[in-house]
Amino acid sequence: MPELVFFSGTMDCGKSTLALQIGHNRSARGLQGVIFTRDDRAGEGKLSSRLGLVTEAVEADEGMDVYAHLVDRITRGGRADYVIVDEAQFLAPVQIDQLARIVDDLGLDVFAFGITTDFRTKLFPGSQRLMELADRVETLQVEALCWCGARATHNARTVGGEMVVEGAQVVVGDVNQQTDEVGYEVLCRRHHQRRMTSATARAGVLSPDVLPVTSG
């Protein structure tokens, strides 16, 4: 039976790499898939991993009807044996409904990959809808690690290494940026709650608190 499967995890846990691997395995068996993505770090219409792998994809812009796009492709003689969606957290809930319709009406497997929560630990609307509708939700087993070595469970947005907790839900950036631009870092819950990034932790080591000294 065809399924809508949601592969979820933090940033830096290999979601895009797995998406590319699933596509490779199926293409090696003669199957042809349609890949959708949204706001990939490599640019519009790209699916890329941090290992340097990249492939062409359909940019699922805001307002796109992904079900209608696929039906039009098939009607024009195109082939679609399965669907892959990367950065699925950025899709609107109605677009997630359209993915479910692809499974139910067209009989195709849909593999969606995305981050569950944003930098404020709030669910992305697309991820929430996937958790509500998916036949299966799979947590990726490749564990991203916090700077302290513990399992990373939360995504943090940084500016110049400092964690920020306000701003738009979607701002495109990458992990471990070393500039004053927007970046992201994965943290364990303890350090996310304390807003302690790798940069601020290093600063703490370089400038330790000292006990007051009184003379006499």
- Could you count the other beta carbons within 10 Å of the beta carbon of residue 186? 24
**Residue of 87, 143, 166, 185 marked active site:** 87
Strand arrangement, sheet containing 154-159: 162-164, 154-159, 182-187
Cα 168 from Cα 146, distance rounded (Å):
24
Cα 192 from Cα 155, distance rounded (Å):
8
CA dist 179 → 30, 133, 165, 182, 203 (Å): 44, 39, 18, 8, 16
**Is 56 known to be catalytic?**
no
Residue pointed to by tokens 């958790």: 131
For 11, the 3-state DSSP assignment is coil
CA dist 75 → 29, 69, 79, 80, 88 (Å): 23, 10, 9, 11, 25
CA dist 46 → 85, 86, 119 (Å): 11, 10, 23
Residue pointed to by tokens 């996937």: 130
Cα 207 from Cα 98, distance rounded (Å):
53
| Catalytic residue annotation | 87
